[in-house]
Chains A and B, each alone.
Chain A
Amino acid sequence: MTTPGAPPPLPPVLLRVSNLKTYFVTEHGKGTARAVDDVSFDLYPGETLGIVGESGCGKTVTSLSILRLVPEPPGHVLPGSLIEFEGRNLLALPAPELRAVRGNQIAMIFQEPMTSLNPVFTIGDQIAEAAIIHQHLSRRAARARAIEMLRLVGIPDPDERVDHYPHQLSGGMRQRVMIAMALVCHPKVLIADEPTTALDVTIQAQILELLDRLQHELGMSVLLITHDLGVVAGHADRVVVMYAGRVVETAPTDALFDRPTHPYTEGLLAAVPRIDAPRTRLHAIPGQVPAATAWPSGCRFHPRCPYAWDKCAAQEPPLLETGTAGHTARCWLVSEPARKVSKQ
């Protein structure tokens, strides 16, 4: 974790996303949805980077873009985007080399454990698949590996469970299976796209603890995508807040919670129920994320922002340094803090 104050020496970047633009052409050419619009962030070895935002902010499209899993058409990643993994641009990689990265170096777990497993194969077969693809293990060795992975992710009776079908498992168990599938080749990066959204709260905590433990044991980096700031607080080292296809704030987790700078982040934090505060109505950010085909001019948050003034509608701020190391926000308030007067 980065400590505020003295800038620590940064290790080499493992995964660099820079100027990523993923657009979708909507039907009948009515418009272009700019789902991810100029997003940049770095992922360092061994850290957990949280990506937070409401539904429709471009989090999932960002994660799919990294492994080039965006359906084309209608989606396409614009030229000029760069996704650099260990010095190679994944966006320019030929298909066979890309497949060698997927599941092997960078793995992914999905939001819906109920539908992300193939219903007609045993979980053992599915966990073994990546090992067979990338390490060319024999069926027998792959099966042993699958059992070992099931044990690692804490599934009881792995010898028996390996022959079960997905429908025989609960949601939490299936998510553990998904994690086992993703980690079977010991990837360097794990992209976890809302890994706990479909699960109930107690199972959520177990799955997140499991991810933490495995990250520690295997020494991988995790890109944790979530809409839940509570999840980020407990598990991420740094946070990227996304809004309307843009990064609006990046900060070390502590700094973000201590001094949220962008009004959107502030709004998100105010919307989290707190056990130590008097019980009042939960705060809500008025309005909704606008449609990706028609982002507002200027700062994309200004129609919903309690502090917005004319400059915000006219001109979009760049990511501005807040003064804390590694903490930037895309808000004019950083340069003009005196303007922070709520209209309401």
Chain B
Amino acid sequence: MTLGTWLALFVALVLAAELVRLLRQRAMRQERWRRFFRHRTTTWGLGILAFLVIVALAAPLIAPFDPNKQLDIVHLTNHPPSWTFLLGTDGVSRDVWSRTVFGARVSLGIGALGAFVAVALGTFVGAVAGYYQRWVDAVLMRGVDVGLALPRIFILLMAVALWDGLPFAALIIVIGLTSWFGTSRLVRAEVLSLRQRDFVVAARALGAGSGRVIFRHVLPNAAAPIIVSAALGVGNVLLLEASLSFLGIGVKPPDPTWGNMIADNAPSIYTAPWSTLFPGLAISFVILSLNAVADGVRDALDPREEAA
């Protein structure tokens, strides 16, 4: 680690903290966002996510080494953490810290975009099935049953086999397209109960069309489970990406992702735990922070929660 990278890391920390402080300050003016910041965990979660995003964006400044470079394959394999190699080196003498920092780019990107695609699609299908019921529901939900019954890895393997050299965007889409089934069931169940509510009949009596009823009246009331499922979805996608990398069909090596770092270094987990521990911790932090933030968003969206 050089002075420059330490400095960059410090700046990233300060920036994240300052960002959260500013957001919090602005939020205090509005009732709804005050509820968001009510729990301390939400604030911390937001801070950690902000920090990780900044790190991902500024990766070249914060990483002291080229993440893919084998520094000294003879002397520096599985070097334990030290001042030079903050998180140690892996089995082929690559700097774990640099790889974790660069891995944030791919992992966070795939996680966020993949979960977004999955939740958007799942919400749409679930809302349509739950609202229109009858044959629409039957067809869509049998499709979901099929989707849930097919092993996801198998579908992904097929996609990879059919599409040689899967580009990054395609990987995200394929992950998104195979991850929405659970969300759609959840949303459908919510919509089934919400569509019977009096205010939905009242909205229709006012002349609102189906689209308006679904998107303005039904879905906002189902926001809490959707957001929670999105937060959990990011975690799932991160893990899925890890297992894909493990099978060698995810992001192409040597580019680092948290998932493939764990997969690559799993054999040395007893002798050199640092090379799997830190990417694993990074995944855990993201998932925990997302859950904390999701709780806050849920509170912010529910006006019945009185401000404390």
Closest chain A residue, CB of each to CB of B209: A99
List B200-237 residues whose CB lies under 8 Å from chain A.
Answer: 201-209, 212, 216-217, 220-221, 223
C-alpha spacing A66/B190, complex, angstroms: 28
Q: Are B303 and A130 in touch, CB under 8 angstroms?
A: no
C-alpha spacing A119/B303, complex, angstroms: 7
C-alpha spacing A119/B197, complex, angstroms: 11
Q: Are B199 and A107 in touch, CB under 8 angstroms?
A: no
The reply on B164 being an interface residue by CB < 8 A is no
Q: Are B302 and A120 in touch, CB under 8 angstroms?
A: yes
For the complex of A and B, the 6 pairs showing the least CB-CB separation, nearest first, are: A103-B206, A103-B207, A102-B207, A115-B198, A165-B303, A116-B198
Q: Are A101 and B303 in touch, CB under 8 angstroms?
A: no
Q: Are B206 and A110 in touch, CB under 8 angstroms?
A: no
Closest chain A residue, CB of each to CB of B212: A133
Please give, as numbers and ranges, the residues of chain A lying within 8 Å of B202 by CB-CB distance.
Answer: 108, 110, 116-117, 178, 181
Closest chain A residue, CB of each to CB of B205: A108
Closest chain A residue, CB of each to CB of B305: A167
Please give, as numbers and ranges, the residues of chain A lying within 8 Å of B209 by CB-CB distance.
Answer: 95-96, 99
List A26-78 residues whose CB lies under 8 Å from chain B.
Answer: 64, 67, 69, 73
Closest chain B residue, CB of each to CB of A112: B198
Please give, as numbers and ranges, the residues of chain B lying within 8 Å of A64 by CB-CB distance.
Answer: 201
The reply on A291 being an interface residue by CB < 8 A is no
> Can you identify 30 A-B contacts, CB atoms within 8 angstroms?
A64-B201, A67-B205, A99-B208, A99-B209, A101-B207, A102-B205, A102-B206, A103-B205, A103-B208, A108-B202, A110-B198, A110-B202, A115-B197, A115-B198, A115-B199, A116-B198, A118-B217, A118-B221, A119-B221, A120-B221, A120-B303, A121-B216, A129-B206, A129-B216, A130-B206, A134-B207, A165-B303, A165-B304, A167-B303, A181-B202
| A interface residues with partner B (beta carbon < 8 Å) | 64, 67, 69, 73, 95-96, 99-104, 107-108, 110, 112, 115-121, 129-130, 133-134, 165, 167, 178, 181-182
Q: Are B303 and A99 in touch, CB under 8 angstroms?
A: no
Q: Are B204 and A121 in touch, CB under 8 angstroms?
A: no
CB distance from A110 to the nearest CB of B (A): 6
List 10 other contacts, CB 8 Å, given A118-B220, A120-B301, A133-B207: A69-B204, A110-B205, A115-B198, A116-B202, A120-B221, A130-B207, A133-B208, A133-B212, A167-B303, A167-B304
Partner of B206, one of A96, A107, A119: A107
| B interface residues with partner A (beta carbon < 8 Å) | 134, 197-199, 201-209, 212, 216-217, 220-221, 223, 301-304
CB distance from A293 to the nearest CB of B (A): 22
C-alpha spacing A175/B199, complex, angstroms: 13
CB distance from A182 to the nearest CB of B (A): 8
C-alpha spacing A99/B210, complex, angstroms: 10
Partner of B304, one of A96, A119, A182: A119
Partner of A129, one of B203, B302, B304: B203
Closest chain A residue, CB of each to CB of B202: A116
Please give, as numbers and ranges, the residues of chain B lying within 8 Å of A69 by CB-CB distance.
Answer: 201, 204-205
Please give, as numbers and ranges, the residues of chain B lying within 8 Å of A178 by CB-CB distance.
Answer: 202
Q: Are A104 and B207 in touch, CB under 8 angstroms?
A: yes
Would A99 and B197 be within 8 Å (CB), given that A120-B301, A120-B302, A167-B304 are in contact? no
Closest chain B residue, CB of each to CB of A168: B303
Q: Are A117 and B199 in touch, CB under 8 angstroms?
A: yes
C-alpha spacing A181/B217, complex, angstroms: 15
Please give, as numbers and ranges, the residues of chain B lying within 8 Å of A182 by CB-CB distance.
Answer: 206
C-alpha spacing A181/B206, complex, angstroms: 8
Please give, as numbers and ranges, the residues of chain B lying within 8 Å of A115 by CB-CB distance.
Answer: 197-199
Please give, as numbers and ranges, the residues of chain A lying within 8 Å of B207 by CB-CB distance.
Answer: 99-104, 130, 133-134
Q: Are A116 and B199 in touch, CB under 8 angstroms?
A: yes
Closest chain A residue, CB of each to CB of B196: A71
C-alpha spacing A201/B261, complex, angstroms: 71
CB distance from B306 to the nearest CB of A (A): 9
CB distance from B297 to the nearest CB of A (A): 13
CB distance from B1 to the nearest CB of A (A): 49
Partner of A107, one of B201, B205, B304: B205
CB distance from B137 to the nearest CB of A (A): 12
Most buried by A among B202, B209, B216: B202
Please give, as numbers and ranges, the residues of chain B lying within 8 Å of A119 by CB-CB distance.
Answer: 199, 221, 303-304
Please give, as numbers and ranges, the residues of chain A lying within 8 Å of B304 by CB-CB distance.
Answer: 119, 165, 167
Q: Are B220 and A120 in touch, CB under 8 angstroms?
A: yes
Please give, as numbers and ranges, the residues of chain A lying within 8 Å of B221 by CB-CB distance.
Answer: 118-120
Closest chain B residue, CB of each to CB of A105: B207
C-alpha spacing A103/B204, complex, angstroms: 8
C-alpha spacing A121/B50, complex, angstroms: 30
Please give, as numbers and ranges, the residues of chain B lying within 8 Å of A118 by CB-CB distance.
Answer: 199, 203, 217, 220-221
Please give, as numbers and ranges, the residues of chain B lying within 8 Å of A96 by CB-CB distance.
Answer: 209
Most buried by B among A117, A118, A165: A118
Closest chain B residue, CB of each to CB of A108: B205
Please give, as numbers and ranges, the residues of chain B lying within 8 Å of A134 by CB-CB distance.
Answer: 207
Please give, as numbers and ranges, the residues of chain A lying within 8 Å of B208 by CB-CB distance.
Answer: 99, 103, 129, 133
CB distance from B33 to the nearest CB of A (A): 15
Please give, as numbers and ranges, the residues of chain A lying within 8 Å of B198 by CB-CB distance.
Answer: 110, 112, 115-116
CB distance from A68 to the nearest CB of B (A): 9
Please give, as numbers and ranges, the residues of chain A lying within 8 Å of B303 by CB-CB distance.
Answer: 119-120, 165, 167
CB distance from A168 to the nearest CB of B (A): 8
CB distance from A145 to the nearest CB of B (A): 14
C-alpha spacing A118/B198, complex, angstroms: 9
CB distance from B216 to the nearest CB of A (A): 8
C-alpha spacing A14/B4, complex, angstroms: 81
Please give, as numbers and ranges, the residues of chain B lying within 8 Å of A120 by CB-CB distance.
Answer: 220-221, 223, 301-303
Please give, as numbers and ranges, the residues of chain A lying within 8 Å of B134 by CB-CB distance.
Answer: 73
